[in-house]
Structure 1
Amino acid sequence: MSDRTASRTRQTPVAETPDAIRNVALVGCSATGKTTLAESLAFASGAIGRAGRVVDGTTVSDYEEIEQQHRRSVQLAVLPLEWKGIKINLIDTPGHPDFDAELRAGLHAADAAIFVVSATDSITAATRALWRECDEEKIPRAIVVTKLDIARHSYDELLEQCHDAFGLGPDTVRALFYPVFDGDRPIGSMGLLTGRSYGEPGPCPVSESARESLVEAISGQDDALMERFVSGEELDPESLQDGLTREILSCALHPAIPATESGVGAVELLELIVTGFPAPTHRLRSAPLCDPDAPLVAQIVRVTGDSYVGRISLARVYAGTLRPDTTATLTGSERSAERIPALTNPFGKQQRPVGEAVAGDLVCVGKLATARPGDTLHDSDHPADLAMWPIPEPLLPLAIEAHSRTDDDKLSQALSRLTAEDPAVRVEQNPDTNQVVLWCTGEAHAELVVDRLRNRHGVQVDLVEHRVPLRETFAAPSSGHGRLVKQSGGHGQYAVCDLEIEPLPVGSGVVFEERVVGGAVPRQFIPSVEKGVRAQAAKGVATGNPMVDVRVTLVDGKAHSVDSSDAAFQAAAGLALRDAASHGETRLLEPVAAVRVTVPEEHLGSVLSDLSARRGRVLGTESPGPGVALLRAEVPELELGRYPIDLRAITQGTADFARGYLRHEPMPTSLAAQFLDGRAPTRM
């Protein structure tokens, strides 16, 4: 590595004005090459000494151990680069659908997006949906085509596929650069507007008609430029560049660039970012005015934990200037005054000090004790509260237990830190099953959550089977006799209870009544009987699940003038309830969820068949939009444990669903028998 490159890699890009900043998100599904592209850009800009490595040997992106093991991104990574005096905050987002919350955070912090598509794979439905969302938000976009060395189609054919997949107009996707090949190996590219070659020289199959088509698309929104073009005038590069930038910013044109692992396309893309992508001052979405001299308004994008410096919060500064050793107010789940410590730029595992961050920039702030993603950091005298970006609802349950007593003591604090870092995980302390349940977005997310608990927060946990909160009830009237007689010297224990039990409608709970005549049970002990009944009902009588929807009536009993007591009648009441269950007919109730599934119509049949196999009852379907069906159903929660994973597989990731508790209802006899016999089914 040359001295010149080495000195460049040690520099921290600094932006003095918003116009000198570009915030760009790399988006696309897994295995398209986003992280490789990010490292190529870092290498081409001089930010790293060799592709894929920072100076000290750490990987630029995917530096967590779990990322290296599975070769996939699980979190957004920000790489501050510099090109021709412009600071580029390159936001590399995860492509796996389980980490959609990280993708949304990165896209929210960006002003433009680069969609990375692979020449070897089709464009996924999730990528198409994300493109439509960016279009609705008017986010400028470009397309980078990777893996051209093993492509099955020509570059033009691949661009046509992008055009069809994204449902674009006739002149919307245009090649800005064409690949140059040596046989089947891409070795460089040719710029259509400038005629400039990048990389190694070689033959480039670019026709004059391709250039004319691009120029026509650029000129389409400018009458003066179009008139010059139609008249046959040779348009100067400055006019063409201005027209290209105007078309990109208005989302009327999306330029395409070829890229390879060897670095083809990196310099070309850097040039496009600094000349054609918007500065923060151009942001069309709702945000404070991007003025460095205005009162401070910033938003926390993500929070990470570090074993040495503690919590690190990545913030996007929307207005004002964030400086160390000043005080600001943090507004969100909590409101607190925060002293701003030293600021840093993230780069892989490194944190590089910076003096300040102006409006439009991304910066890391340490030691914000209560910060959570989405919180607003603002000037104390000028309140502000920015809206949170959409967070996917976690619907996959993961039950855990602390491995040891020491781990149990640390678990609560670790879970608090975990949820502060990852808003896509929800912690539930289920009072019915006494389980700690982590609700995740999928299997990969669940694996990450457990890995971070163990390795980042130092708490060893064991995975256990997630239990659905069942209920017991009586299927028919029954009666029970409870007798407690104990004599052990001194005062003994004596109480007799006779109970009658009858089932009630769903939702009635436990109703206690008494019809004792002749003072068989003294009045002062009747509350004791009720207390014993309710205590036993809470513990259950057949499977250890709470009993509900019954009327329990005390009809008779006996007492002793000396040996009867509150405790004795409580115990006798519990014995009577269990006795009634032993020769009566009990029934298990299972929770049923109200389910809403939004799915493309071509997958509706598969989803209906799957719900039928899960004992679901479809209530109806409707059409909220063209080609989309909204399905409403009631499904037992026992059948929904893995539904997020299975639904994603059935619909190729194109469906969304929501669930909510509806009621408990009787479980089928054959299934209930397995619980009553201690053979609880494992299917979730």
Structure 2
Amino acid sequence: MGDKAHTPAGAAGRAPTADRPSEIRNVVLVGHSGSGKTTLVEALAQTAGALVRPGRVEDGATVSDHDEIEHRRHRSVQLSLVPVEWRGFKINLLDTPGYADFVGELRAGLRAADAALFVVSAAQEADAVAASTRAVWEECAAVGMPRALVVTHLDTARTGFAELTEVCAGLFGGDDPDAVLPLYLPVLGPEGSDGHAPATGLTGLLTGRVLDYSTGVRRELPPDGADRERLAAARARLIEGIIAESEDETLMDRYLGGEEIDAETLTGDLEKAVARGGFHPVLAAAPAADGGSQGLGTVELLELITRGFPDPSEHAPRAVTTPSGEPRPPLVCDPDGPLAAEVVKTTADPYQGRISLVRVFSGTLRPDLTVHVSGHGLADRGHEDHDADERVGALTSPFGKQQRPMAHCVAGDLACVARLARAETGDTLSAPDDPLLIEAWTMPEPLLPLAVEAHSKADEDRLSQGLAKLVAEDPTLRLEQNQDTGQVVLWCLGEAHQDVVLERLRGRHGVRVDSVPYRVPLRETFGAPASGRGRHVKQSGGHGQFAICEIDVEPLPPGSGIEFVDKVVGGAVPRPFIASVEKGVRAQAARGVAAGHPLVDVRVTLRDGKAHSVDSSDAAFQTAGALALREAAAEAPVHLLEPVAEVRVLVPDEYVGAVMSDLSGRRGRVVGTDGAGPGRTVVRAEVPEVEIGRYAVDLRSVSHGTGRFDRSYARHEPMPPQIAERLREQDPRAS
């Protein structure tokens, strides 16, 4: 956006500051794993003068990826904030993981940002772009978030810049592929021994000037006249794309009439179209050459961010309520307005305690301020509901492992807040005398179970506290204490997410756990009527025990639960002890009668019994009722019932057949398909939950990473005998 010379600004030793929303740009970097987002963030920070040497801050740490897990895995697993200064603007660069298991961190970045840079790698297959970024692009489009694209890895490209731009136009342009067009074309240097020609500069399509980065310092050169025909065609298409989005309705007629539209007018219209999300420019970028201070395209990218992307005050007002749910006027981005900030990320630092990354939407946040913390109460994910006042600690701006002090954080800005002991991701910070709750944001549902047990007694003592901290940090993690199986289950987004959860539990919170096979909550029921006699008689000194009861058991339709019927005549079982028999029957049913799973869908009829005037008691008849039910179970077939889930799978049309075949192989019944927009289908099926424990992982393989699914409980139904027998052999509780 303009081809101006620039001297790097910013200081590595201080935090960038902003006093007005107009001085702030919040930008989230989105892209598939390995696309080069973190490298691009470091290149931008270096060009902005925030680094003392390429990729490093003063203490030698990298700008982002400062988590020890990331260092070991060589992969981003969490959201990182890197603030830089450029021409008087504070730019908050939000680097997100590209791997699907950490989409929660991506959603947090989208929540905190006002614009998005989609990073695509020319070194990867074009299919990878579609698989991991199309859904996020559509999510941004749904809320009108401005977007631009950055092509990386041109030096090792499998796909040429022009070809990749056309792919992106087809994927993201929708009905108007001319809404996705390049602003610059790469200037390629000589081919290396590997056959690749690295990009050494850019040619501005609006100005025609050549921007040479071959030395690592940007130089402007006059047009060289090379490849004039290709440049002219690309320039004409760009101009037409800009004019099509122009608010000046006469501009197209003037252009078609042969008038030469000046670059300043086109640049102004381009910036407006980008800001309102109608046009999505494509740029190329690369790190600085050895010894250089400016990477390829980084100046142009910073100019696009500051001049083309909107400031926070241009964002649509946020919907808010009181904590009790009463609607309040939407929040505008005003530093003098009522305080309303949101925790977009929570981390537990071993030395500083809990640190909350906060986006301020209204008002101004200051150190040592008392705020009201309001939560959405995600009880189903292990997040407690809370509504309390807390005192804000220090405000800091992160940069690698450093935390630089901030005097305040105005509306539209981001800051790290210390000492918020109860605030969790998604919570709202507001004034104690005017508490508010910002409308919740959607988080993906974790669908991959991880059952864990404490490794030792010492770990068992710390397990509960460690799990609570984990859940507070990660809203995509769901903690379940399964009452049926007795297991502690962490529901995750994928295998990589599971591995990171275990590493954090061990490394950050000092808790070692062992992974154990996840058990699906099964049920038992009678396959035929049966009778049982429970006799509990003991006369060994002192007060004796005497209780005898006879019952009939018959199966009932699914969903009937346990029915208890009293048909005793003549007072064979005294009235007070009939309730005791029922209590014993129900307690035994809850424990199971064959393989240790709860018994359901039967009618138990008490038809006779005996009592003793002295030795009969409530406890004795409870025991007799349980014994009678167990004896009846020994005389009749007992069927295992497995939970069946309603599964809805969203996939591109080309994978519908593969998904349906895979579901059928899991004993699933496909019940229908529905269209879900251009090129997409929802497959609806009923599948036993035993068969879909790893479906979150397997669907990615079947659909090449493009599929998503959700599931809900439908019912329990009989399990095939051969599978039931295998589970009985595997289950240590089976009798």
The answer to whether the superposition gives a TM-score over 0.5 is yes
Letter in structure 1 aligned against 2:185: Y
Contact 1:94–1:102 under 8 Å retained in 2: yes
1:283 maps to 315
Contact 1:198–1:268 under 8 Å retained in 2: no
The Cα offsets for residues 286-310 of structure 1, whole Å up to 9 and x where unpaired, read as: 5632222222222221111112221
Q: Does 1:190 align with 2:203?
A: yes
Match of 2:730 among 664, 668, 679: 679
Alpha-carbon distance in structure 2 between the residues aligned to 1:357 and 1:668: 61
Q: Which moved more, 1:471-480 or 1:408-417?
A: 408-417
Give the secondary structure class of the aligned counterpart of 2:475: coil
Match of 1:298 among 318, 336, 341: 341
Match of 2:352 among 279, 303, 309: 309
Match of 1:325 among 365, 368, 373: 368
Q: Which moved more, 1:446-455 or 1:552-561?
A: 552-561
2:450 maps to 398
Letter in structure 2 aligned against 1:475: G
Q: Does 1:455 align with 2:461?
A: no
The Cα offsets for residues 29-60 of structure 1, whole Å up to 9 and x where unpaired, read as: 11111111111111221212223322212222
1:60 maps to 63
The Cα offsets for residues 183-231 of structure 1, whole Å up to 9 and x where unpaired, read as: 1122232333341413127987562443344344334423566577567
Contact 2:546–2:612 under 8 Å retained in 1: yes
Match of 1:36 among 36, 39, 43: 39
* Superposition TM-score, scaled by structure 1 size: 0.93
Give the secondary structure class of the aligned counterpart of 2:17: coil
* Structure 1 segment 426-575 matched on structure 2, within 5 A: 426-575=478-627
Q: Does 1:140 align with 2:153?
A: no
RMSD: 2.5
Alpha-carbon distance in structure 2 between the residues aligned to 1:271 and 1:433: 57
- The alpha-carbon deviation at position 362 of structure 1 amounts to 0.9
Question: What is the number of residues matched between the two proteins?
Answer: 677
Give the secondary structure class of the aligned counterpart of 2:663: helix
Q: Does 1:419 align with 2:471?
A: yes
**Structure 1 residue ranges without an equivalent (≥5):** none
Letter in structure 2 aligned against 1:339: R
Alpha-carbon distance in structure 2 between the residues aligned to 1:189 and 1:567: 87
Alpha-carbon distance in structure 2 between the residues aligned to 1:593 and 1:228: 61
Calculate percent identity across the aligned residue pairs: 57
- The alpha-carbon deviation at position 6 of structure 1 amounts to 12
* Structure 1 segment 243-258 matched on structure 2, within 5 A: 243-258=269-284
Letter in structure 2 aligned against 1:601: D
Give the secondary structure class of the aligned counterpart of 2:270: helix
Give the secondary structure class of the aligned counterpart of 1:9: coil
- The alpha-carbon deviation at position 484 of structure 1 amounts to 3.0
Give the secondary structure class of the aligned counterpart of 2:342: strand
Letter in structure 2 aligned against 1:331: S
1:162 maps to 168
Q: Does 1:650 align with 2:702?
A: yes
Contact 1:138–1:284 under 8 Å retained in 2: no
* Structure 1 segment 304-383 matched on structure 2, within 5 A: 304-333=347-376, 334-383=386-435
Q: Does 1:21 align with 2:28?
A: no
1:264 maps to 296
Give the secondary structure class of the aligned counterpart of 1:526: helix
Alpha-carbon distance in structure 1 between the residues aligned to 2:316 and 2:579: 67
Change over 3 Å in CA distance of 1:208–1:629 after alignment to 2: closer
2:381 maps to none
Alpha-carbon distance in structure 1 between the residues aligned to 2:545 and 2:562: 27
Alpha-carbon distance in structure 2 between the residues aligned to 1:428 and 1:629: 32
2:50 maps to 47
Letter in structure 2 aligned against 1:124: A
Contact 2:643–2:716 under 8 Å retained in 1: yes
Q: Which moved more, 1:4-13 or 1:489-498?
A: 4-13
- The alpha-carbon deviation at position 237 of structure 1 amounts to 5.0
1:93 maps to 96
* Superposition TM-score, scaled by structure 2 size: 0.87
2:14 maps to 11
Alpha-carbon distance in structure 2 between the residues aligned to 1:170 and 1:617: 40
The Cα offsets for residues 119-154 of structure 1, whole Å up to 9 and x where unpaired, read as: 122122331222222223222111111111121333
Give the secondary structure class of the aligned counterpart of 2:11: helix
Alpha-carbon distance in structure 2 between the residues aligned to 1:310 and 1:635: 44
Letter in structure 2 aligned against 1:132: E
Change over 3 Å in CA distance of 1:515–1:50 after alignment to 2: same
Change over 3 Å in CA distance of 1:213–1:551 after alignment to 2: closer
Alpha-carbon distance in structure 2 between the residues aligned to 1:637 and 1:151: 43
The Cα offsets for residues 61-116 of structure 1, whole Å up to 9 and x where unpaired, read as: 22212212222211111100111211110011111111112111211211111110
Alpha-carbon distance in structure 1 between the residues aligned to 2:273 and 2:540: 94
Contact 2:360–2:409 under 8 Å retained in 1: yes
Contact 1:374–1:387 under 8 Å retained in 2: no
- The alpha-carbon deviation at position 542 of structure 1 amounts to 0.9
* Structure 1 segment 66-81 matched on structure 2, within 5 A: 66-81=69-84
1:214 maps to 238
- The alpha-carbon deviation at position 545 of structure 1 amounts to 1.0
